[in-house]
Amino acid sequence: MNLPHFFCPMLVTLLLGAVASPAANPVVAVAALVAPGAMGSSLTLAPNGTSFLCWLEPAGGEVWAVKFSRFDPARRDWGTAQVIAQGLGFFTNWADFPQFVIARDGRLTAVWSVNNPAHHAATVGGHHGPGYRAVYASSADGGATWTPELPVSDESLPVEFVALQPLRDGRVLAAWLDGRNHDRSALYARVLGAPGPDVLVDSSVCDCCQLSFVPTTDDGALLAYRGRTRDEIRDMQLARFDGQAWQRPVTLNADGWKITGCPVNGPQLAECGDLIGAVWFTAADNQPRVLARVSDNAGDSFGPVVRVDLGQPQGRVDNVMLADGTLVMTWLEMAGKETGREGGIYLRTLSLEGRLSEPLLVAPSSTERMSGFPRMVLQGKRQVLLTCTREGPVSRLATFLIDVK
């Protein structure tokens, strides 16, 4: 695959403001002002290169809060935590956690989950019984004040696993797993705050695998998700939004994984210009593995499939793409009994020429549910920030700054 001539506008600030890191250790822990019991963290990058951390935090009794913080690359620390929303009735879950994005005009948008009203318990179906629903709020003043929470969908209550993508024209696109049909989940989407009905993208999808968006150079977006056929084949799919309408979904790769339950293991996309990387987990043919592919034409087609894992992956993948097209990938790997390899969060890179780097153990971790889904964001020319949940009697959040070799 030849490297196309392009430059990522989002990287301007990052390239100018790359942070030096001690050569002796490529992984440096970065403390955040987060209370014990916090969970469900995610990272996002603003158009100006600022990194944001978002998470769920207990606030006493049954009260929970959604908070966020900015990263200061000069000080190498997180700023004071700010509250997005706080109250009773929050739905807290190891796999479906808050999302946070920043539009080109600086507007912040956050989405999180709340329990559905009790009087709907007998009628609302979905994968999670009485279910929960997603709500969102926005801020036009840097997070000082937030709009009242609004439902992501006005048509459906069981709205779960929401993904958000700011579009180049300032709109925010949302997609989610929807249980309105009760028998199986469907994929719906809409532009937040826009008039008109929800749009059905795919009528049959896996019940609880995360979705992943990237923007495309034609002012649209590309979405990756785990599909579900009538024969219970649950392979990764791609759906494209051209700025006005959704195109028919296509298969990212025909793994042929037949499974009668949801593996809770969604795909992740990363982009830089017309380069798009995709990483996902499959256990087709009873062989668990983490796979990756790269496209040099905005996702119209993808190059060869590359296996990334070390032989015993749990999945829970993420990726970011560097300015030179290098794909940086993370996943959870179980301990290798025969090799003595430690279990944990591993990082590896894939060059445009198809070369895999040696794996780097970012942090030891179990593969229990409460270890969650590590998430990354670009934080320099060849650096990334990573956040994860450290399980224990009381869960804690951890963040790391990693030099990418």
311 close to 267: Cβ distance less than 8 angstroms:
no
Q: What distance in Å separates the CA atoms of residue 210 and residue 402, rounded to the nearest whole number?
A: 24
Phi and psi of 191, rounded to 5°?
-85, 125
Task: Calculate the CA 208 to chain-centre distance.
Answer: 13
DSSP assignment of 48-80 equals TS-EEEEEEEE-STT-EEEEEEEEETTTTEE--
Domain range list for the chain: 35-313
Task: Calculate the CA 368 to chain-centre distance.
Answer: 19
Q: What is the 3-state secondary structure (H, E, C) of 173-223?
A: EEEEEECCCCCCCEEEEEECCCCCCCEEEECCECCCCCCEEEECCCCCEEE
Question: What's the pLDDT score for residue 25?
Answer: 86
Phi and psi of 358, rounded to 5°?
-65, 145
Residue 155 pLDDT exceeds 80: yes
Query: For residue range 30-87, what is the model confidence (pLDDT) as tens digits?
Result: 999 999 999 999 999 999 999 999 999 999 999 999 999 999 999 999 999 999 999 9
**Residue range 356-384: mean pLDDT, rounded:** 93
Question: What's the pLDDT score for residue 4?
Answer: 39
Question: What's the pLDDT score for residue 336?
Answer: 83
Question: What does DSSP assign to residue 301?
Answer: S
Residue 121 pLDDT exceeds 60: no
Radius of gyration of the chain (CA): 20
346 Cβ partners below 8 Å, 6+ apart? 309, 310, 330, 331, 332, 333, 359, 360, 361, 362
Residue 127 pLDDT exceeds 60: no
Q: What distance in Å separates the CA atoms of residue 106 and residue 47, rounded to the nearest whole number?
A: 8
Question: What's the pLDDT score for residue 206?
Answer: 97
Q: What distance in Å separates the CA atoms of residue 327 and residue 179, rounded to the nearest whole number?
A: 34
Nearest alpha-carbon partner for 285 in 249, 319, 235, 358: 235
Q: Give residue 340's pLDDT band: very low, low, confident or very high (50, 70, 90).
A: confident
Query: For residue range 282-315, what is the model confidence (pLDDT) as tens digits?
Result: 999 999 999 999 999 999 999 999 999 999 999 9
Q: Give residue 368's pLDDT band: very low, low, confident or very high (50, 70, 90).
A: confident
**Residue range 319-347: mean pLDDT, rounded:** 93
Residue 332 pLDDT exceeds 80: yes
Question: What's the pLDDT score for residue 338?
Answer: 77
Q: Which helix (H) or strand (E) holds 314?
A: strand 313-321
Question: What's the pLDDT score for residue 337?
Answer: 79
Q: Give residue 392's pLDDT band: very low, low, confident or very high (50, 70, 90).
A: confident
Residue 100 pLDDT exceeds 50: yes
Instruction: Give the architecture-level CATH label for domain 35-313.
Output: 6 Propeller (2.120)
Q: Give residue 5's pLDDT band: very low, low, confident or very high (50, 70, 90).
A: very low
Residue 130 pLDDT exceeds 70: no
**Residue range 240-253: mean pLDDT, rounded:** 97
Tokens standing for residue 122: 């007998």
Query: For residue range 138-151, what is the model confidence (pLDDT) as tens digits?
Result: 999 999 999 999 99
Residue 13 pLDDT exceeds 70: no
Q: What angle do CA 306, 280, 337 make, to 5 degrees?
A: 80
More confident residue, 123 or 325: 325
Tokens standing for residue 206: 């896996």
Q: Which helix (H) or strand (E) holds 15?
A: helix 12-16
Query: For residue range 266-279, what is the model confidence (pLDDT) as tens digits?
Result: 999 999 999 999 99
Phi and psi of 179, rounded to 5°?
-105, 20
Q: What distance in Å separates the CA atoms of residue 144 and residue 371, rounded to the nearest whole number?
A: 31
